[in-house]
Amino acid sequence: MDKLKEAVTSETFDFRCFICPLELGTEYNLKGIKVTLLDANHCPGAALIHFRLPNGQSYLHTGDFRASKLMQSYPLLASQRINIFYLDTTYCNPKYRFPSKEDVLEFVVGVTRRYLNNHPKTIVVVGAYIIGKEHVYLAISKALGRYLTSQDGHYTSMLAFRPTGVPYSEHSSFTELQEFVQFLRPEKIIPTVNVGNAVNRGKMQSHF
């Protein structure tokens, strides 16, 4: 976590005076509002943010996240009634049903193993943003027991993964969103993505 903080602050040097790093799972009292960050199963540093107000109300903002069954074991979420729930609705549509992140990573690792068995001198390339998709190349690296970069530079072939080319997503599928909402049972849901008009907002609300 310390290295992650260092990396983030180094990329936002001009704004360091506004940055206050918080640890996951620790409750902070910020001017009377209790704030807790929980792992969002997204890119490094992404967090669900839980707010407990002085009047006892409980708010949860997911930001970008991928819902998982592990989140149902978070003590804070299991014990707190959520009054207002700000939900990442990137894929809040019944047509978006894709495999779990774990299943997709297992597939990618399997493809990599088989390819390297036949072509040992292969450079493996994973398409990514400046931040994001780390789980893909970390899964390959861990499975192979080695780093994905080398100073050798002598390769006879290349194996390239474009994470959008396989059903891999850092955001929740429609069914994962439904399951997470059913677990939380919030009093009110506020969609945060693809909500540019009342029709879209109404459709999303109807799913829950």
Distance from C-alpha of 64 to C-alpha of 143, rounded to nearest angstrom: 27
Distance from C-alpha of 199 to C-alpha of 191, rounded to nearest angstrom: 12
Please give the CATH topology (third level) of the domain spanning 101-165.
Rossmann fold (3.40.50)
Containing 86, the helix (H) or strand (E) segment is: strand 84-87
| Residue 88 confidence class, pLDDT cut points 50, 70, 90 | very high
Residues of the chain with CATH 3.60.15.10: 2-96+170-206
Looking at per-residue pLDDT, the higher value among 193 and 204 belongs to: 193
Distance from C-alpha of 42 to C-alpha of 63, rounded to nearest angstrom: 10
Note the CATH architecture for domain 2-96+170-206. 4-Layer Sandwich (3.60)
* Three-state secondary-structure class, residue 163: helix
Which amino acid type is present at position 117? N
Distance from C-alpha of 42 to C-alpha of 25, rounded to nearest angstrom: 16
pLDDT tens per residue, range 53-71: 999 999 999 999 999 999 9
| Residue 134 confidence class, pLDDT cut points 50, 70, 90 | confident
Mean pLDDT along residues 124-144: 77
The tokens describing 64, both together, are 């970008």
Average pLDDT, the chain: 85
The whole-model pTM stands at 0.78
Strands 27-30, 33-39: parallel, antiparallel or unpaired by DSSP? Answer: antiparallel
Residues of the chain with CATH 3.40.50.12650: 101-165
Q: Report the candidate in 162, 158, 180, 182 with the shortest Cα–Cα distance to residue 171.
A: 180
For residue 13, what are the contacts with CB-CB under 8 A and spacing of at least 6? none
* Three-state secondary-structure class, residue 104: helix
pLDDT tens per residue, range 73-85: 999 999 989 999 9
Looking at per-residue pLDDT, the higher value among 131 and 120 belongs to: 120
Q: What is the pLDDT of residue 138?
A: 84
Helix axis angle, 101-118 to 134-144, nearest 10°:
50
Looking at per-residue pLDDT, the higher value among 100 and 174 belongs to: 174
Q: Report the candidate in 70, 74, 69 with the shortest Cα–Cα distance to residue 36.
A: 74
